[in-house]
Structure 1
């Protein structure tokens, strides 16, 4: 199944310029980051790769199998991003790489001082004093499915870093800061959602709001009710939610409903209309539109893949 929010394809290295058929590397250096483009043209296993700085990697073509943090290995596919701390060795397999179908991956190594500046910025300007939350990169959450904004930022950074523009450090700085903030917000959302599932809603307004959403996911969820849970006005609630999690409340609700719908569509006999209604969508056409936007295919097509 084609994944959504894949990166734009990067031109492959000309064959006569290849230095190696496994993890051939092109590098573009900037003031605060280093863009590496890796390509592999033959099967290989247990290839180590380590960076001295934190690295943001994203798959462009093909498939790798990643071994990280003594965790179970996982398939790494286009439309996904992985972050790895400095001096952590990735062990990588290339089970499907061939001359005609190479893998291609970017690795954006980011200066530690720049990361600290960005995290300090978030703690100074995107924190409510009464919540006691401190922004920080977490490596218990390191594997992401790209959203539209993350893909757009990475695509833009690739174009900037590989260009000959004399001002590219300025533009890279702006886009890199936004990318880091998006990833931090995504981690924040994952962390709060996991904590809410385990221990309920009695920790912070983050947990109260997500708990309420999940308890009422199959019903109509009023924004005023969410605002009250957060003890904020309607307008301030929208801004707070976006600042904390990087998406709007409606985007989060729809995303969780689509996740529920995918499980139901995998059960033979469930119609699209039934799944739509039971997942809290009042309009089946709206459900189909949101599902396709999120998953890249219609609910019916997804159901056919799951049940064939």
Structure 2
């Protein structure tokens, strides 16, 4: 199976520069830029005239954004920036043998607005008065599987010389925008669930899940807490957060398990019980499916 690294490999080895060497693939709705850096550099300035999604492929960057503390940027992570937003970038580990590679996808503002109109008309948010907006500047997050697979298909399409490439990429770009909006909504809801719980049904559901991870949970049980029918709750949750209620339960269980695994005095079976898995073998299997390593292997790497 292709990876972002494979799909973004140079077709020709020649580089114009060792710092942020750029390759560009464009359609009428977006511009895909692939940047490679092969030597140490600091405070490299970059900005785009359109909203942009940047996603790390290899190596490590340190990002400096206006009004925010610097942060490290690794493969598997992405950043959404508004049009004109300045970025200043350090490349502390870039070498010819281990280059730092990042893709930057500049998106048409018109396409974003069209997608928002469609979402608000046909897939309104759960709470009255809330609308879909791409309104969180400098949004830094970890890619989920759906977003990663969408990026893979988009990069492949941009590089493919297909006569219908314009049509194909337009549809995929819409999907990407929807997934970005859902990711943003999910991160914001999870981050602010405690503050919003008394006035937002999905936030209440998130808080309920978090405080009952050790128990057996079902869609029916959670929907009752949110004062919604099970079918309506399921649709609203999936529409707004981009994953099902039970996928969210698993995500939260494993998030807490990873925190607890940092304590060497806690056994794997004890941690599994605390996050809702009475069978340690099942806990280990689910953990490895989602994280790529077993709980014990995860702990040994810490």
**Shift in alpha-carbon separation, 1:128–1:263, aligned structure 2, 3 A:** closer
SS at match of 1:66: strand
Name the structure 1 match of 2:36: 39
Taking structure 2 as the reference length, the TM-score comes to 0.94
Q: Deviations over 1:66-119 (max 9, x none)?
A: 111321111111111111110011101111111111111110000111111111
Given that 2:32 and 2:104 are in contact with CA atoms closer than 8 Å, whether structure 1 keeps it comes out as yes
Shift of 1:129: 7.4
**Shift in alpha-carbon separation, 1:165–1:48, aligned structure 2, 3 A:** same
Given that 2:38 and 2:100 are in contact with CA atoms closer than 8 Å, whether structure 1 keeps it comes out as yes
Distance 1:148 1:216 in 2: 26
Distance 1:129 1:284 in 2: 36
Paired positions, count: 300
RMSD: 1.7
Given that 1:7 and 1:79 are in contact with CA atoms closer than 8 Å, whether structure 2 keeps it comes out as no
Name the structure 2 match of 1:196: 193
Name the structure 1 match of 2:247: 251
Given that 2:38 and 2:94 are in contact with CA atoms closer than 8 Å, whether structure 1 keeps it comes out as yes
Runs of 4+ in 1 over 4 A off after TM superposition: none
Given that 1:22 and 1:39 are in contact with CA atoms closer than 8 Å, whether structure 2 keeps it comes out as yes
Name the structure 1 match of 2:10: 12
SS at match of 1:214: helix
Distance 2:54 2:127 in 1: 35
Given that 1:200 and 1:211 are in contact with CA atoms closer than 8 Å, whether structure 2 keeps it comes out as no
Note the residue ranges of structure 1 that are not aligned, 5 or more in a row.
Answer: none
Name the structure 2 match of 1:88: 85
SS at match of 1:75: strand
Distance 1:43 1:91 in 2: 14
Given that 1:44 and 1:95 are in contact with CA atoms closer than 8 Å, whether structure 2 keeps it comes out as yes
2:57 matches 1:60: yes
Name the structure 2 match of 1:109: 106
Given that 2:218 and 2:246 are in contact with CA atoms closer than 8 Å, whether structure 1 keeps it comes out as no
